[in-house]
Amino acid sequence: MEIILASASPRRQELLGYVFKSFVCKPANVDETLPENIMPMESAEMLAVKKAKFIANENSDALVIGCDTVVIYENEIFGKPTDEMDAKRMLEMLSGKTHYVVTGVALFYKGKSVSFSERTSVKFYNLTECEMLDYIATGQPMDKAGAYGIQDKNFLPVKSIEGDYFNIVGLPIARLKREVESFLIYVGVR
């Protein structure tokens, strides 16, 4: 069975390699605008379903895995920053505070699907102006929800986490492995 990751994220590709030896990547070119009334904790899963469904429509014989990650602070959804000022705004808001990282995952195979969300709590140290600006200058926060990557070696803002570390990177691989196994039994592959 072909396995397709509906993402271009190099971080997700690396993580999915922990679960599967062989897969292909086909990024889903979908509108990621969220409805105004969506609950923040449901947003990542909704986008994951949208991405997986888009790829599954042309690849119904493949197991398609769609994902999306958001950062949520005080009921505000932080996606990828729009520019450097937006990145700084996000980092300032997260400084010294606890927020949630939510990754939604959707699995599609032959017209059947299942989806789930994983939530991890993250607490930041108080960040200095200098460390925020130095990090933003690297360009690394620009393609990451919440304007940071926990795996980035030149920026270490995290004081503590509660939950799955890999979820913060972008894919909760331990849960994904279990969900895929259950889903394949459900669809009659195993």
SS3 67: strand
Helix (H) or strand (E) holding 108: strand 98-109
Q: What separation, in Å, do the N-terminal and C-terminal C-alpha atoms of the chain show? A: 12
Selecting among 68, 134, 143, 164, the annotated active-site residue is 68
Q: Tell me if residue 68 is catalytic.
A: yes
Quote the tokens at residue 38: 């969506």
Say which amino acid occupies 96: G
- Using alpha carbons, list the distances in angstroms from residue 80 to 20, 54, 100, 146, 160: 27, 21, 15, 6, 22
Which residues are designated catalytic?
68
